[in-house]
Amino acid sequence: MASRHMWNFSQGSFYPDCYKGECGIFCFQGKRIIWGMLMTKKVRLGILGVAKINQRVFPSFSNMKHTVLAGIASRSLHRAKAAAKEAGIPSAYGSYEEMLKDPAIDAIYNPLPNHLHAEWTMKAADHGKHVLCEKPLAPTAKQASEIVRHCLLRGVKLMDGFMWPHHPRSARVKTLLKTAQIGELLRAQGSFTFHMDNLESSNIRLDPEKGGGSLLDVGCYPVYGIRWAFEQEPVKVLAMARFHRGVDVEMNGTLWFADGRMASFDCGFTMPVRMGLQLTGSQGVLEIPRMWLPEPNASYQIHREGGTEIHFLPGHDQIALMHDHFSQCILEDKFPEPGPMEGVKTLRVLDALLQSAREGKEIRLSQA
């Protein structure tokens, strides 16, 4: 056990009854705490990189109760300072390592390209930082499993950046399924497509060496949604895809489950925006438009023989809800829900789907 006298450098305060226990958990007067949280009720978040996705995230920080944006890092200090000035972030760093070493940062948001998720999530964990990593956790299930194990051994919390499970509409949909409002769930069909203007561009989504392809980029949403709705893992899959420059730019897939149920999905870079989930039951159909990225006036529809019901759940910022859930788990030392193994399980299915599309045959999950 380390000395019972520890110094909080960020606040300049001395705590004579504080000591470091197992897995980096600190104890104070007999209570387990997260070091660095003694003097604040908000998690100080640092962002790795100045990617375009940040522009979608920045406005949501004003809606967060438990998270404060404390720093942003880039491999260019000039770019980091520009992004910090634009978003009102107090600290800018000229390297990722510099931010990871800063004790004033409690947790990291990692929106780097897919092929960099493992490296920088694990490096953040090595510095005792909790990590909210953009989806998918990694390009493959094997890498994702290594990330989860690495973070677990270092006592830091890990969550992947699927936002839709944190929207209240998702909880409502799950309640409708559990209370059999459409009868027994028999089928599911999901989609996520959008139109990329130029398939010959240098867009990172088209780079096979950097985790590109429509399945990893957007197909992961309906595949995860199907698993979430069925509450089972598929036993086999079959996929067909159109490949361009070494990545799938369109894919259609079918998932079979042990109880005989089937589900299907499609994803791609070549069609107008579609991002819905349709759940067919023995007594009706539950349709959720824009399931993955809902509009402010989020809705769902229940179709039965007697007619259609339309319900709205307006006014929810799922980005803020996701970040705040993660921060609250850090502050209260709780396990994030959904946990990171959900990301690993989804990637196992994605691995099998991509193998099926490349080999032109049905793949059993035990073979993937």
pLDDT at 368 (0 to 100)? 59
pLDDT at 226 (0 to 100)? 99
Tokens at residue 229, please? 């709705």
pLDDT at 290 (0 to 100)? 98
Q: What average pLDDT does range 242-247 have in this prediction?
A: 97
40 pLDDT tier (thresholds 50, 70, 90): low
Contacts 24+ apart (CB under 8 A), 196-201: 196/249, 196/269, 196/270, 199/244, 199/245, 199/249, 199/269, 199/270, 200/245
pLDDT at 128 (0 to 100)? 98
Q: What average pLDDT does range 216-226 have in this prediction?
A: 99
pLDDT at 11 (0 to 100)? 33
Q: What is the pLDDT of residues 267-284, one digit of tens each?
A: 999 999 999 999 999 999
Q: What average pLDDT does range 325-338 have in this prediction?
A: 98
Residue at 195: amino acid letter: H
Percent of the chain clearing pLDDT 90 (strictly above) = 85
Q: What average pLDDT does range 303-327 have in this prediction?
A: 96
Compare 49 and 25 and report the one with higher pLDDT. Answer: 49
pLDDT at 57 (0 to 100)? 87
Name the pTM for this structure: 0.88
Percent of the chain clearing pLDDT 70 (strictly above) = 89
20 pLDDT tier (thresholds 50, 70, 90): very low
Q: Counting every residue, how long is the chain?
A: 368
Q: What average pLDDT does range 163-167 have in this prediction?
A: 98
Mean pLDDT of the chain: 90
pLDDT at 229 (0 to 100)? 99
With 50 as the cut, is the pLDDT of residue 247 above it?
A: yes
266 pLDDT tier (thresholds 50, 70, 90): very high
pLDDT at 67 (0 to 100)? 97
pLDDT at 312 (0 to 100)? 97
In degrees, rounded to 5, the angle at the alpha carbon of residue 203 between the alpha carbons of residues 189 and 208 is: 70
Q: What average pLDDT does range 119-124 have in this prediction?
A: 99
Tokens at residue 147, please? 């990330």
With 50 as the cut, is the pLDDT of residue 7 above it?
A: no
Residue at 285: amino acid letter: V
Q: What is the pLDDT of residues 207-219, one digit of tens each?
A: 999 999 999 999 9
pLDDT at 366 (0 to 100)? 83
With 70 as the cut, is the pLDDT of residue 182 above it?
A: yes
pLDDT at 1 (0 to 100)? 33
pLDDT at 367 (0 to 100)? 62
Domains of the chain from N-terminus onward = 1-39 (no CATH), 41-160 (3.40.50.720), 164-364 (3.30.360.10)
Task: For residues 365 and 280, give the distance between their C-alpha atoms in angstroms, rounded to a whole number.
Answer: 24
With 80 as the cut, is the pLDDT of residue 3 above it?
A: no
Torsions phi, psi of 328, nearest 5? Answer: -65, -35
119 pLDDT tier (thresholds 50, 70, 90): very high
